[in-house]
Amino acid sequence: DADVTQTPRNRITKTGKRIMLECSQTKGHDRMYWYRQDPGLGLRLIYYSFDVKDINKGEISDGYSVSRQAQAKFSLSLESAIPNQTALYFCATSDRLGDTQYFGPGTRLTVL
């Protein structure tokens, strides 16, 4: 089984809808991250969490919110989806050393 899982893997939704992307990990890592990837722009950090009670904004947090329900679970929400949030979303984890980040398989989100 994969160490970092993301659900759903693909999602098509309409403008204005609320949507949640979920990330779970079995690596026992404290640190979790959400990124989005757009063609030609690389990955950009949306939110990150260094433990269950710690939530931090990344460089592009506007329009997004997160919830760290447990050490193993980190969810990303779009309260009112808009078309320019169409992208590939990745969850990642790292241990306390914060060295290597391990990525989930990604969620391809399309907002119509």
Partner 1 sequence: QKEVEQNSGPLSVPEGAIASLNCTYSDRGSQSFFWYRQYSGKSPELIMSIYSNGDKEDGRFTAQLNKASQYVSLLIRDSQPSDSATYLCAPQNDYKLSFGAGTTVTVRA
Applying CB under 8 A, which residues contact partner 1?
31, 33, 35, 40-45, 48, 50, 58-59, 90, 94, 98-106
18 vs 39 by CB, closer to partner 1: 39
Q: b/e string for 42-60 if b means 16 or more Cβ within 10 A?
A: ebebbbbbbeeeebeebee
3-state secondary structure of 85: helix
Tracing tokens 């079995």 back to the chain, one arrives at 26
CB of 18 to partner 1, least distance (A): 25
CB of 90 to partner 1, least distance (A): 6
69 vs 100 by CB, closer to partner 1: 100
CB of 40 to partner 1, least distance (A): 6
- Name, in order, each residue with C-beta under 8 angstroms of 80's C-beta and a sequence gap of 6 or more: 16, 17, 18, 63
12 vs 17 by CB, closer to partner 1: 12
